[in-house]
Structure 1
Amino acid sequence: FDIGGHIWSPLGISLWALTMIPWITFVLQYTGTYTRITRRTLVALTLPAAAFPLLFTSIWFGERTILSILGSLSALYLIGLLTIGCYLVVRTSYRYGHLTLRQGVVLSLAPVTFFMIANFSGPLVESLGEGGAVGVFALGMVGFTAAVGASLYRYETFQSTPAVGRIGERVIVRQTEDLMFVVDEEERVIRLNRTAADRLDVSKTEALGEELSEVIGASIDDLEGMETIELLTDEGSRQFDPVISRLTDQHDRELGHTLSLHDVTELELREQRLEVLNRVLRHNLRNQIEVIKSNAEVLADGTADGYAHSIIESADRLTELGRSARSIDQIVSQPSTTGDVDVAALVREIAENARTRNGVELSLSVPEEAMVVTERHALVAATESAIKNALSRADTEVRVTLEPIEPGHCLTVVDDGPGIPDEEIETISAGTETPLQHATGLGLWQLKWAVTKFNGELSIDNDGRTTVELRVPDQDR
């Protein structure tokens, strides 16, 4: 600043200084950089500017003092506010498609023009005299007013503010149900949204700086080769579709990646259901119809020994397949609704209604009460499927136990039958569709989908005896 010794300089510069706090406050809200302007914010912005009047002590005392140096630092602070404000306005106007760069430049000209007028008013008085300086000052103010007017009326700067774009970006990231991460070139987590932190039950501060593989169990390279990734969330095990995008600079150098994980658990269930039920219709039903047709042809020839019984058995199998398919469709299609469920009472009721074959004993070991918050319909379907399948395989005994675990309960069904074919267990575990050779396979699919519906875990062990474990989480914990 060349404040000289004339009243014009202190007056003009002081007027300019008074506009800087309103200017930066306006810019922060206009661009959406910071919209929660409070009294505390205003005090924090104003305090460094409070020393600005000390800039003029050199006029009052005739020499530079510590006080005038403090005033100079305050003046530099105000110039910084001017520069930052202009930068934010121009950059934000350029960034969003609903605005033009010209709008940002014209709006920034207003405070810059005022600053130039205030700064050069002293030298103008000395070179042009007060009359000439007043004329230049008036001309400058006309330019200032013209810049403001052009912003308001010619370019309609305030008809559509850039804050919409910036705040909109934040809202999308904050309110989206997708898990979102930003990682650097070393795959360290630089940013994650609130949804990711909440659903994965991790602290934002703890996750920042950690490698992505430590947070979700997979690297960017791993995810690029996956169609879906299974993650343990606050709702249990869920399937997510990863979408990866590169982050580059203006020279196309890779800086990192953004990762979006979309929950596709329900979609995966629907696709599996369609594949499996389609296989049932094309394979099992076709086979049973062929059996009925061939036996009916024999009946037509008059040789009926045993063939009528085969037709009845095939018809029963068709009925059972249709019933199973309908039950599966209801389980997967029905909206999830959770509520209080007494698992112990539910297991006892299902066991009492189960039909046992001659020679097969069904024993129960369950507590008097086992309350959880879960999806009742899915739990009923899973429990019925596990007990029914065990009874159909067992030679002499089926044992059902219910034990508390954290958080929830574990239902174990053990039978002494020949066991479930390994290929069926592998198919269920992998979630792939293969020909279903008998009703047990369809029963296992019902079991798997029902367990997934109530966010539980399923394990099957064929070591000597068939052991099926259902982990029922308490979704209220």
Structure 2
Amino acid sequence: MLAGIGIGGLVVGSSITAGVGTLALAGYLYRHRGSPGVPWFIAAALAISVWCLAYGTALVVFELPLRAHLTALWLLAAVWSGPLFLLFALAYTGRTAVVRSWQALPLLAVPTVATGLLVTHSWHSLLWTTFRIDPVFDLATASYSLQPLAYLVLVFTLLSAGLSALLLFETVVSYGPLYRGEAVAVGLSVVPPAVGSLPWLFGFGPYPQLNLTPALFLVHVALDSYAFVERNMFETNPTTRRAAERSAVDDIPTPLFALDTEDCVVTVNDAAVETFELDRSAVLGEPFAAVVPASGGTVDGSESITTTTDGRERQFTVVTAPLTDPADTVVGRTVILQEVTKEREREQRLDVLNRVIRHNLRNEMTVILGHADLVADRATDEAVLDSAATITDSGERLLATGTKAREFEQIRGSQTDTRTVDVADLVGEAVADLRAEFPSATVDIDVSPGTDTSLTTQPRVLALVVANLLENALAHNESDEPRAAVTLSESETGLDIGISDNGPGIDPSELAPIRKGTETALEHSTGMGLWVASWGVTMLGGDIDFATTDDGTDVSVHLDYTDG
């Protein structure tokens, strides 16, 4: 008897304590009512509190009518607890759109109908029959036959609670340690009450009339208190991250498609809908090739494709990336399209313009130089001869500028070969070519002891860089004995090429646009040589620096051994 009273008292005490503790937790969380999911959790906590308090009270009430009404009360609270907890889990894990849509209506419809049946339980037998007091451990436990409708409602409540736990565990798997402690605690909190309800619900065990669920809610409130009080579960939650992921996709200003393993569309962002005038729901499940018909490329790599919309061709670069699940299994891929129609059209116009200008410049300057030579041959007036010489000099400089531009354009537009060369030999060849043009100049080559002059690079580009820098050093050198020196030395990361001269130095106005990488109406360079050298070094992945000294100009070029 004492043991029986002790067990009975433990069950009643645990149920009442769980009810009071859950009510206190709901009051504590009221301060977080603006956080995602908190209102639903508070509602679920209130339902659980009523459930525990009503059942704990019912265990000491032996008057049959009141006992039946208390049973109806705790069952009413029980059928609401599962759906409300599921709505909390949906909102907490960032699925607020589901909570606010028609999909949430069934979750609320079932407990609403059950509430009506429980309130009117004394007028019908749709939920149970043969209600009677069946004491165990000196408690006013009751036995009754649950009807199919009652089983349907109660199983729905258990399934709702189970789905809540799965959603929270999914958060653990998806987001790793960020929300792990909180989600595990809340997810596990539904297990003891759910397991405790099974003997009562399905009538097995030595005391099926005793429902241990309210008493086991004491474990539930302890785990929830750990998550909400100790771990500040609502200070940071998965809603923020899920919203960020969704926003990151929708806010991308370029079209994005998510495809499954069969290349069928599973989602698109707003930019894709707007760019291709898509019906978002209609394209889901359709092959990507049918949604975005393309020609001239492929989406199997970083390629470009051409689409036709309203008779107008549009060009896109394509970048794809695999989509993997938490187990690193490839489940699809993303396709991002960046429209480059205007850029390609501008490049085409510039190419045409460059070709026309270079062609006309060469042809017209050939005519001009020919007539200048004719004038010089036939003229006797010194002023006319000087003018003819001036025309010839200017024309030759223009032709040289066009030649430099053409050489660099040819290199830039082609797939230049990358191979290992001896930079010392390459510099020697450039110096030999220039000596014929500048016979009075002295050019020295100095290789620092121990320097590895082998470099994997693009020889044509590097030769063009060296030639233009040396030509600039000699062509503008007005010294009686023009000199230039090329030094090769090894640094920690690569090869340094230094070119110095004893000329007048480069005017700062010439260097300003080179260093900025652009010309303006007020800042522009008068020659192509420095531009070609700067662009070439950039193509090689190196660095170039100009310095004007009292002795002339020092140019430093650094090329990494690992770059090409």
Q: TM-score, normalization: structure 2?
A: 0.44
- The residue that corresponds to 1:166 in the other structure is 242
Quote the residue 1:101 is aligned against.
180
One of 130, 150, 153 as aligned partner of 1:71 = 150
Look up the match of 1:178: 254
Partners of 1:235 and 1:37 in 2: CA distance: 44
**Could you tell me how far 1:195 is from its partner in structure 2?**
3.1
Give CA deviations for 1:266-306 in whole Å, capped at 9, x if unaligned: 333454456555656766545544554454344333359xx
Q: What is aligned with 1:29? A: 91
3-state secondary structure, aligned to 1:223: coil
The AA in structure 2 aligned to 1:51 is A
Instruction: Answer yes or no: is 1:192 the counterpart of 2:192.
Output: no
Of 222-231 and 20-29, deviating more is: 222-231
Query: Which deviates further from its counterpart, 30-39 or 275-284?
Result: 275-284
Contact 1:12 1:117 in 2 (8 A): no
Which residue of structure 1 aligns with residue 277 of structure 2? 201
What is the CA distance between 1:32 and its match in structure 2? Answer: 1.5
The alignment covers a number of residue pairs equal to 308
Change (3 A) 1:148 1:235: farther
- State the match for 2:164 in structure 1: 85
1:94-145: CA deviation from partner (whole Å, max 9, x where unpaired): 3136723222111223343444566678999987999xx99x966x444333
Paired letter, 1:241: T
SS of equivalent to 2:378? coil
In structure 1, what is the Cα distance between the partners aligned to 2:83 and 2:108? 7
**Alignment correspondent of 2:523:** none
- Residues 127-142 of structure 1: pairs in structure 2 closer than 5 A: 140-142=216-218
**Are the structure 2 counterparts of residues 93 and 59 from structure 1 closer, same or farther at C-alpha, using a change threshold of 3 Å?**
farther
TM-aligned CA distance change 1:121 to 1:137, over 3 Å? farther
Unaligned runs of 5+ in 2: 1-54, 60-66, 119-124, 133-142, 403-564
Q: For residue 301 of structure 1, give the secondary structure of its aligned residue in structure 2.
A: helix
Q: Is the 8 A contact 1:9 1:118 kept in 2?
A: no
Q: How big is the shift at 1:162? A: 0.9
Alignment of structure 1 residues 226-245 onto 2, 5 Å: 227-233=303-309, 236-245=312-321
Q: Which amino acid aligns with 1:296?
A: A
State the distance in 1 between where 2:328 and 2:77 align.
46
Gaps of 5+ in 1: 323-477
Q: Distance in 1 between matches of 2:295 and 2:152?
A: 49
Contact 1:201 1:234 in 2 (8 A): no
User: Residue in 1 aligned with 2:228?
Assistant: 152
Query: Secondary structure, in 3 states, of the residue corresponding to 2:223?
Result: helix
Distance 1:254 1:164 in 2: 26
Measured in 1, the distance between the counterparts of 2:311 and 2:176 equals 39
Is the 2:200–2:208 Cα contact (8 Å) retained in structure 1?
A: no
Offset from partner CA, 1:27-78 (integer Å, 9 cap, x none): 221112233645966643222233375885145387647xx11111111111
- Does the residue aligned with 1:88 lie in a helix, a strand or coil? helix
Counterpart in the other structure of 1:45: 107
1:18 aligned partner: 80
Aligned equivalents of 2:305 and 2:205: distance in 1? 73
Aligned counterparts of 1:216 and 1:100: Cα–Cα separation in 2: 39
CA deviation map 1:146-205 (0-9, x unaligned): 222211233222111211222233333334332222333443334333432332234334
Maintained 8 Å contact 1:187/1:220: no
Identify the match of residue 131 of structure 2 among 44, 60, 76: 60
2:324 is aligned with 1:261: no
Out of 215, 224, 243, the residue aligned to residue 291 of structure 2 is: 215
Pairwise CA distance, 1:248: 5.1
Decide whether the 8 Å contact of 2:179 with 2:237 is kept in 1.
Answer: no
Alignment partners' CA distance in 1, 2:348 and 2:308: 20
Cα pair 1:94 1:104 within 8 Å, conserved: no
Q: Is the 8 A contact 2:323 2:333 kept in 1?
A: yes
Change (3 A) 1:255 1:142: closer
Amino acid at match of 1:23: F
So what's the TM-score if we normalise by structure 1?
A: 0.51
Is the alpha carbon distance of 1:161 and 1:176 closer, same or farther for their aligned partners in structure 2, counting shifts above 3 Å? same
SS of structure 2 residue aligned to 1:210? coil
Q: Is the 8 A contact 1:103 1:151 kept in 2?
A: yes
Residue range with higher mean Cα deviation, 142-151 or 79-88: 142-151
Q: Which moved more, 1:78-87 or 1:55-64?
A: 55-64
Determine helix, strand or coil for the equivalent of 1:232.
strand
Asked if 2 retains the 8 angstrom alpha-carbon contact of 1:114 and 1:144, the reply is yes
CA distance in 2, matches of 1:192, 1:150: 40
Give the 3 Å change call, closer, same or farther, for CA 243–285 of structure 1 in structure 2: same
Cα displacement (A) at 1:262: 1.6
1:296 matched to 2:379? The reply is: no
